[in-house]
Every structure is written in C-alpha cells, then in structure tokens.
Amino acid sequence: MKKSIIVPVFNESGNIGNLIEKIYNNISENDEVIIVDDGSSDNTVEEIKKFKCNLVEHNKNMGKGAAMISGIKVSTGDLIIFMGGDGQDDPVEIKNLIDGIDEGYDYVIGSRFVNTQTTENKRYSNKAILPINKIGNNVLTYLINLLFGQNITDSQSEFKCFKADKLKSLNLISKRYEIETELLIKSFRNKFKIKEVPVHRYERLHGKSYLFDVPFGRFIFGLKVLKTIIIGFIFWR
C-alpha cells in the first residue's frame, strides 16, 4: 500500500531537514512525503526545497489543522500518516503504525503514554514531555474517555496513521491544534477500529513550540480543545 506522510510545519528551520531525511530512510520509493508549510517566516521553506518532496505552502499562518487538511487534499496514498515537524517523532516507528493497520485497524495512534512503564519508553518520554503538558493531556484524555466510553491514553498525539478512505470520509473543520480532538471524536462517532501503539518522544533540538510564543498559549489551547469536546459530544453523530 502506498503511504502519504503529511508533515505540517511552522518555523521549523534546523529541524525539518533532518526529519525529512529520516522519513525517506524509512519509507519506500512508491511512498510520498507531503510537507505543508503554514506561513513560516524563517528558513523552513528553503530547507524543504532541498528535497524532492511535495511542498504545499500557505501564504500566511492558518493553523495546524488547516495545514493537515491541505495535506489530505493533495495526498494520493492508501494510508495517511501524520507527524510533527519538530523532529520529536521518530520516523523509524512509522512501521509500528503500519503494523496496526495490517492487523485490521482503521486508525492507529502513536501513544506517548501507553506502556510507559517500560524502561526504554520512560527514557525518552519523560524528558521530552513537560509535566504541565502531560497533566493537561491526561485531563483532556480522561474527559474524552468519560464522555465517549473509550480507553485512549494519548488524545493529543500528532503521530498517527489512517486508512486514507476512512480519513477522507470525515468532514474536518478545525483550523488549529484542536484538530487532534476532532479526528478522535469523529473516528469514535464513525465507529472506526482504533488501536494505540507505544512510540518515543524525543527532545526538540532547535526552536520552541508555537504555543510558547502565544500569550497564555496553553490555556487558550485547552479551552479550544474543551470546546471541541463539548461540540463533538452534543452535535457530532
């Protein structure tokens, strides 16, 4: 099956080039890499153009969700894999996501928290995930599980794989980080077969998350995700 690797990026100069190289080392010649630049103001685009990947450019910052949707629209693969552009996800673990699809699942989530008691997983995840981020994720994940009767460990993971036809059947509308929650809830509502597999989370080598640059960024993010959860619970069927 042909794979489409979609990577939304915003100001990831210093990270994106190394990531693209690692992706190509872990996929076949038939697969495609789609990088969606969401209005970067640094050298991100210049780094991307050094590779023969499919570059989609937004002329202004429209949000992570908008970038992911742009990538979906141009994708041609049977499977669609999403990764962050900061280098914290490991392309070597793309295989683990694909294995889940091969088992018959529609949507495989790379969880940073499932099976975290193993020494190897702790070694990476504990350093790369700030305590406040982990707490926030746990609270939101607990609420999602409570309302939708699920048992997910990582509702905000950006490293995931979908069967393309299943993903494209969803009417995605979220423009920013709440896209992860929308994907999860709409997958529940459409009765997708979902599996989580453990993945590592590495420390960022360059730059910092966009949420750090926005005043009260984490608080605003949490409110938007909470709003998405409520809307999904009431309206999405």
- pLDDT, residue 52, reads 93
| Tens of pLDDT, residue by residue, the chain (237 residues) | 999 999 999 999 999 999 999 999 999 999 999 999 999 999 999 999 999 999 999 999 999 999 999 999 999 999 999 999 999 999 999 999 999 999 999 999 999 988 754 545 444 444 556 666 778 888 999 999 999 999 999 999 999 999 999 999 999 999 999 999 999 999 999 999 999 999 998 877 776 666 555 556 677 888 899 999 999 999 998
| Domain range annotation of the chain | 3-235
- pLDDT, residue 114, reads 84
Cα separation of 48 and 183, whole Å?
27
- pLDDT, residue 50, reads 96
pLDDT tens across 20-38, in order?
999 999 999 999 999 999 9
pLDDT tens across 48-71, in order?
999 999 999 999 999 999 999 999
- pLDDT, residue 115, reads 73
- pLDDT, residue 128, reads 57
CATH of span 3-235: 3.90.550.10
